[in-house]
């Protein structure tokens, strides 16, 4: 049975960019023939018309959509979406087009090849990218360094919003972060389950500028969740390696076999019966 890739989109006030995001997901080259696509959208109580627009999309059956009654945060939206996922691989996509959904094939390649369980799309190893503001870059570096030290990994961009991972990685885990602290909690979960983690370069274009106060609050929230996650034990078994996914191959037409009939059931012609000699 072909594998299914579940695209998970936590959205909030993205009415201007959602249609383009959905189009790029549908047209994206996944790098593997025969993969099915599942699109799951979680609307975190948008107020710019996104909710009404998503209701029309849901009516057309283009995606599975869930709506939060109030704004709970990115982490809560991810947790809601992961509960609905039925695919073998999950790709978390940012619907603001800060990351290009058409590049999801880069994230899927190491998983499909059987070499990775988790793939991060890093903004800071890309050869071509928009230059971020200094304080944003420093904030991301500090958070990444703290997460790396706590989890004994060497990521370059732990706060990225572009990730792919096997659905088995999060199965059975309870995620507690409601806001942006989800990135630190996921990093701790991945290392707890001894996942093979890869990074690939992805393009990035900044779509909005958060205020300094918001950035400080988000950074503190992430640091707090990183510390809590490092001290927490999920009591989950490590992830077992998986074999590479095979290309979908159409079955060749099989030759029809003749019907086998048991000799005892074959009708016997009278002409074929030899006469029995009687002794005088």
DSSP string, 93-104: --TTSSB-GGGH
Kindly tell me if the per-residue pLDDT of 260 is higher than 50.
no
d(CA 73, CA 45) in angstroms, rounded, equals: 10
Return the number of other C-beta atoms located less than 10 Å from residue 249's C-beta. Answer: 8
Quick: pLDDT tens for 187-210.
999 999 999 999 999 999 887 655
Contact 166, 242 (CB under 8 A): yes
Do residues 120 and 80 make contact, with C-beta atoms less than 8 angstroms apart? no
Calculate the average pLDDT of the chain: 85
265 falls within a domain? no
Instruction: For residue 42, tell me if it sits in a domain.
Output: yes
**243 located within any domain:** no
Give SS3 for 147. helix
Nearest to 40 by CA among 27, 20, 24, 58: 58
Q: Is residue 276 part of a domain?
A: no
Weakest mean pLDDT among 98-102, 109-113, 167-171, 229-233 = 229-233
The least confident of 31-35, 114-118, 179-183, 232-236 is 232-236
Give the model's pLDDT for residue 224. 87
Residue 156 has pLDDT above 90, yes or no: yes
Whole-number pLDDT of residue 135: 82
Task: Please count the residues of the chain.
Answer: 280
**Distance between CA atoms of 262 and 177, rounded to whole angstroms?**
68
pLDDT-derived band at 32 (thresholds 50, 70, 90) equals confident
Domain assignment present for residue 251? The answer is: no
CATH code of the domain covering residue 42: 3.90.550.10
- Answer whether residue 24 is part of any domain: yes
pLDDT of residue 4: 94
Average pLDDT in the 80-88 region? Answer: 95
Q: What is the pLDDT of residue 210?
A: 57
The structural domain count of the chain equals 1
Q: Tokens 């400080």 belong to which residue?
A: 216
Whether 140 maps to a domain, the answer reads: yes
User: How far are the Cα atoms of 68, 102, 178 from residue 169, in angstroms, in the given order?
Assistant: 25, 24, 19
What is the mean predicted confidence (pLDDT) over 106-112?
A: 96
What's the predicted TM-score (pTM) here? 0.84
**Is 267 part of a structural domain of the chain?**
no
Residue span of the structural domain in which 200 resides:
4-231
For residue 11, the model assigns a pLDDT of 96
pLDDT tens, position by position, 121-152: 999 987 767 777 888 888 899 999 999 999 99
More confident residue, 253 or 113: 113
Reported as a pLDDT band with limits 50, 70 and 90, residue 213 is: low
């Amino acid at each position: 049975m072909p594998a299914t890739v579940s695209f998970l989109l936590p959205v909030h006030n993205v009415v201007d960019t959602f249609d383009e995001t959905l189009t790029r997901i549908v047209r994206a080259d996944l790098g593997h023939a025969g993969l099915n696509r599942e699109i799951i959208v979680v609307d975190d109580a948008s107020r710019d018309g996104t909710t009404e627009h998503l209701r029309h999309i849901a009516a057309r059956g283009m995606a599975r959509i869930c709506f939060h009654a109030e704004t709970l945060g990115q982490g809560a939206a991810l947790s809601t979406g992961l509960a609905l996922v039925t695919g073998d691989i999950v790709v978390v996509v940012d619907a603001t087009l800060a990351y290009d959904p058409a590049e999801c094939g880069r994230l899927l390649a190491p998983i499909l090849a059987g070499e990775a369980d988790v793939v991060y799309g890093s903004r800071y190893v890309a050869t071509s990218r928009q230059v971020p503001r200094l304080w944003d870059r420093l904030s991301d570096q500090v958070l990444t360094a703290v997460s790396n030290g706590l989890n004994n990994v060497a990521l370059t961009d732990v706060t990225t919003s572009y990730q792919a991972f096997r659905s088995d990685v999060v199965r059975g885990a309870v995620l507690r972060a409601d806001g942006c602290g989800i990135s630190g909690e996921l990093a701790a979960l991945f290392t707890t389950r001894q996942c093979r983690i890869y990074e690939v370069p992805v393009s990035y274009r900044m779509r909005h500028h958060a205020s300094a106060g918001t950035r400080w609050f988000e950074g503190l929230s992430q640091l707090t969740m990183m510390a809590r996650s490092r001290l927490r034990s999920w009591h989950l078994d490590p992830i077992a390696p998986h074999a590479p996914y095979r290309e979908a191959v159409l079955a060749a037409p099989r030759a029809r076999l003749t019907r086998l009939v048991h000799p005892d059931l074959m009708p016997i012609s009278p002409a074929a019966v030899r006469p029995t000699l009687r002794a005088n």
